[in-house]
């Protein structure tokens, strides 16, 4: 019961974030890069969270920053889960030599650390938000394919799939009607947990300077405030809003992920007879 309430609550929070990102031009009084007044203004006087060291409106940056953060987090998760589901299902269903070869390749790729590789690749390509999301999604799917392949394989060997095959159902029909629907719980849970993971990783990468200085998102806002000593100067309104924004969405996604896991896979554990 409480799990369902938590899930609803976290979905409501996520919807709010999306609404803010989508309606950014109507909510934010200024653009993210526009210099709107004196630097380092405290909250008030038309600046809800004051201004930063060059006089940009922190509230407007926060609202526009949501767009970049959400695109990165959800875009890369969507791509990664799409690739994993497609490849995992096909490999698990058809099996054979291709499956064997791909699994060996995945075995080899498994220990390669994604995070520093991503840093090297972005330092080389100097890409924008969309491109980094694509890179992240592709690299992240290495782990996901394995995760989807195992249940897809066991589903392919269940009596209802064997039965469907024996009456001559097409592969497409079997995969779309029998296998994919049964994979949905694991795919959904993976999508939610990946979104949280990639979103936090994206903000972190931006915090250590992944984007150019023109791209404003929550990570670069925190980095900027931290680097200019917002903490030691006591300018909490500069650093706290982007931080709380990240913590809020990350918590909502984590709660949604764990609630989904409990709902799809109730692990009372001790209830076996």
Partner 1 sequence: MIDGQYLLRRIGYSGAAFFVCVTITFFILHLMPGDYITNYLLSLSNTLPKEAVEQFYQQYGLDRPLPEQYMIYILNILQGNWGYSYQYGLPVFPMIMEKLSWSLVILLPATVTGILIGTVLGAWSGWKSGGKKDLALFNIMIVFRAIPEFWWAIMAVWIFAFYLQWFPLGGFTSISVLTSGMDPWDVLYHAILPIGLMASFIAAGNYYVMRNSMIAVIGEDYITTARAKGLDERAVLWRHALKNALLPMATMTTFQIAGIIMGNVFIETVFSWPGIGLLTTEALSIRDLPLLEGIFLLDALMTIGAMLTADILASYLDPRIRMGGHD
Partner 2 sequence: MSLLTINNLSVQFETAGATVPVLDRIDFEVAAGDHIALIGESGCGKTVLGMSVMRLLPPNARITGAIRYAGSDLLQVAEREMQQIRGRGIALISQNSVSSLNPVVRIGDQIAESLSLHTQYRGDDLRHEVIRLLAELGIEQPEESVQKFPHQFSGGMRERILVAMALACNPDIIIADEPTTGLDALVKVQILRLLKKAMQGRTLLLITHDLGTAFTLASRTAVMYAGEILECGPTSEVFSHPRHPYTQGLLASSPSAGFHPIPGLSPAPGQVPSGCRFCPRCSCAMDTCRSLHPHLKETGRGRRVRCFRYD
DSSP annotation of 218: H
- Rounded CA-CA distance 161/169 in Å is 9
Q: Would you say how long the chain is, in residues? A: 273
Using rule CB under 8 A, residue 186 touches partner 1 = no
The answer to whether residues 84 and 137 touch, using CB atoms and an 8 Å cutoff, is no
Number of residues that bind partner 2 (CB under 8 A): 5
Site for partner 1 in 84-113 (CB under 8 A): 107-113
Using rule CB under 8 A, residue 10 touches partner 1 = no
* Residue 88 C-beta: closest distance to partner 2, Å: 27
Using rule CB under 8 A, residue 204 touches partner 1 = yes
Q: Residue 103: exposed, middle, or buried by beta-carbon count in 10 A (0-12, 13-18, 19+)?
A: middle
* Residue 264 C-beta: closest distance to partner 2, Å: 15
Partner whose footprint covers residue 168, from partner 2, partner 1, none (CB < 5 to 8 Å by kind): none
- Rounded CA-CA distance 22/173 in Å is 37
Kind and range of the H or E run holding 127: none
Partner whose footprint covers residue 121, from partner 1, partner 2, none (CB < 5 to 8 Å by kind): partner 1
Q: Looking at beta carbons only, is 184 or 251 nearer to partner 1?
A: 251
Using rule CB under 8 A, residue 214 touches partner 1 = no
The answer to whether residues 40 and 97 touch, using CB atoms and an 8 Å cutoff, is no
Among residues 72, 70, 56, the alpha carbon closest in space to that of 238 is found at 56
Cα atoms found within 13 Å of the Cα of residue 26, Cβ hemisphere only: 5
Using rule CB under 8 A, residue 1 touches partner 1 = no
Beta bridge partners of 51: 57
Site for partner 2 in 213-272 (CB under 8 A): 268, 270-272
- The only residue of 119, 153, 169, 180 in contact with partner 1, by rule CB under 8 A: 119
* Residue 162 C-beta: closest distance to partner 1, Å: 24
Phi-psi category of residue 96: left, alpha or beta, with phi > 0 → left and psi -120 to 50 → alpha: left
The binding track of 12-31 with respect to partner 1, each residue x by CB under 8 A or -, is --------------------
Contacts of residue 49, defined as CB under 8 A and 6 or more positions apart, other chains included, come to 43, 57, 58, 59, 62, 237, 238, 241
Using rule CB under 8 A, residue 37 touches partner 1 = no
Judged by the rule CB under 8 A, the positions of this chain that interact with partner 2 are: 268, 270-273
Judged by the rule CB under 8 A, the positions of this chain that interact with partner 1 are: 107-117, 119-121, 123-124, 126, 196, 200-201, 203-204, 207-210, 222, 226, 231-232, 239, 243, 246-247, 250-251, 253-255, 258, 267-270, 272
């Amino acid at each position: 019961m409480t799990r369902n309430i938590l899930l609803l609550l976290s979905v409501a929070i996520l919807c709010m974030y999306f609404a803010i990102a989508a309606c950014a031009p109507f909510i934010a009084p200024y653009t993210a890069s526009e210099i709107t007044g004196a630097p380092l203004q405290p909250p008030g006087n038309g600046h809800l969270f004051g201004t930063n060291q060059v006089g940009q409106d922190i509230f407007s940056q926060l609202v526009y920053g949501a767009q970049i953060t959400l695109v990165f987090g959800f875009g890369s998760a969507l791509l990664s889960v799409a690739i994993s589901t497609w490849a995992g299902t096909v490999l698990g269903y058809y099996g054979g030599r291709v499956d064997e070869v791909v699994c060996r390749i995945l075995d080899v790729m498994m220990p390669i650390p994604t995070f520093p590789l991503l840093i090297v690749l972005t330092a080389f390509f100097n890409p924008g938000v969309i491109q980094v999301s694509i890179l992240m999604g592709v690299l992240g799917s290495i782990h996901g394919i394995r995760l989807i392949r195992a249940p897809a394989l066991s589903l392919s060997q269940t009596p209802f799939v064997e039965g469907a095959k024996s009456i001559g159902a097409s592969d497409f029909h079997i995969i779309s009607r029998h296998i994919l629907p049964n994979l949905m719980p694991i795919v959904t849970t993976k999508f939610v947990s990946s979104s949280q993971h990639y979103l936090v990783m994206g903000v972190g990468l931006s915090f250590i300077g992944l984007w150019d200085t023109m791209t404003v998102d929550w990570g670069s806002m925190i980095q900027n405030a931290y680097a200019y000593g917002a903490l030691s100067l006591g300018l909490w309104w500069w650093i706290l809003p982007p931080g709380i924004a990240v913590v809020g969405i990350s918590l909502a996604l984590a709660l949604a992920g764990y609630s989904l896991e409990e709902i799809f896979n109730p692990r009372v554990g001790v209830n076996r007879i």
